[in-house]
Amino acid sequence: MGKLNDKVAIITGGSGGIGEAAAKRYLEEGAKVVLVDLDGEALATVAARLGDDVAVYAGDITTPEANAAMVALATERFGGVDIFLANAGIEGTVAPLTTQSVEVFDRVMAVNVRGVWLGLQAVFPAMAKRGGGSVIITSSVAGIGGTAGLSPYVTSKHAVIGMMRCAALEGAADRIRVNTVNPSPVETRMMRSLEDGMMPGDGQAAHATIAAGIPLGEYAQPADIANMMCFLASDEARFMTGGVYMVDGGISAK
C-alpha cells in the first residue's frame, strides 16, 4: 500500500526540477497528479516521462481563472483534490535593492505570493468536500533569512510563511493541513540562473562558494526536497500543520 493511495495532488511549477521530483514520488506512493505550469510544452515532456496517472494544465497561476481551472481538471479527471503543492516560483534578478526594478518585484510577488494565495482560495473548498487535505507551500532558506541582492525573492519567501500560518489556522476546522518546505540551494535551473547573476560568466565558482557555505557541503537534489513533500502530503503527517520544515543541509543551524 502506498502512502498516497487514492489521493489526488495538484502540483504547480510542475515542469521544474522539484515539481517533477515531487510528482514522481507522489505517483510512486499511489497518487494521481495534476501538473500545472505556464510552459505547456515543458509540461507535456514531463508528463510523458511520468506515465498515465498524470493530467496537465498550462496556465498562469497569478490569475483566479487558472487556479479555478486546475481544480476543475483535478475534479473532472480524478474526482477531487487532497494535496496541493504550491511550488511555482521565480527567482527574479540579482541586483541591489536600490536598482531592482518595480516590474521584477511585482512579477516575483505575483507568482510567488499572489499565485499561492489564489491557489489556496481555489483548493480549500475542494479539500473540505473530501474531508480535509494537505497543502505544502515551497518556501526557501530565503524565507527565514536575508540574502543581499535578492530582496524581491527573499521578501516573497518570507511572505508565504505568514500566509501558511494564517491558512493553517483557517483550514484546521476542515482538517486541511498547511505547511511550508524550505529548501537550501537545489540542483535546478533556478540555481543556475542565480549563480550566473551572482558571478556573471563564472557560475561554477558561485556554485562552489555557495556549496561551501552549506554544512553538509553540497546542494540538495530535487528528490531530497520531494521526500519531505511526500511525507507532509501523507497521513503520517496528520497532526502536522502550521509548520516550517527545513530541508537545508544544516544552513538554518548556523
Strands (E), 174-220: 176-183
* Per-domain residue ranges of the chain: 8-186+221-253
Per-run averaged pLDDT (10 residues), the chain, 254 residues: 94 96 97 96 95 95 98 98 96 93 97 98 98 98 94 97 98 98 89 80 87 92 97 98 97 93
Q: What are phi and psi of 58, to 5 degrees?
A: -95, 115
- Phi, psi torsion values for 157, nearest 5 degrees: -80, -25
Q: Residue 58 forms beta bridges with which residues?
A: 37
Going across the sheet that includes 133-138, the strands are 54-58, 32-37, 8-12, 83-86, 133-138, 176-183, 244-247
Strand partners, 136: 85, 179
What value, to the nearest 5°, has the Cα angle with vertex 68 and ends 63 and 73?
Answer: 130
Residues 89 and 70: their CA atoms lie apart, in Å, by 17
Q: Which of 215, 224, 217 is nearest to 253 (CA)?
A: 215
Q: What is residue 95's DSSP assignment? A: -
Active-site entry in 26, 57, 153, 219 = 153
Query: Other CB atoms closer than 10 Å to residue 252's CB: what's the count?
Result: 15
d(CA 112, CA 154): 10
Cα 122 from Cα 10, distance rounded (Å): 11
Alpha-helical (H) ranges within 61-150 are 64-78, 102-109, 115-129
Say what the pLDDT of residue 43 is.
95
Report the run of H or E that residue 83 belongs to, with start and end.
strand 83-86
CATH value of 8-186+221-253 in 2.60.40.10, 3.40.430.10, 3.40.50.720, 2.40.40.20: 3.40.50.720
Which of 213, 208, 210 minimizes the C-alpha distance to 250?
213
Active-site annotation holds for 245: no
- Which pLDDT does position 195 carry in this prediction? 79
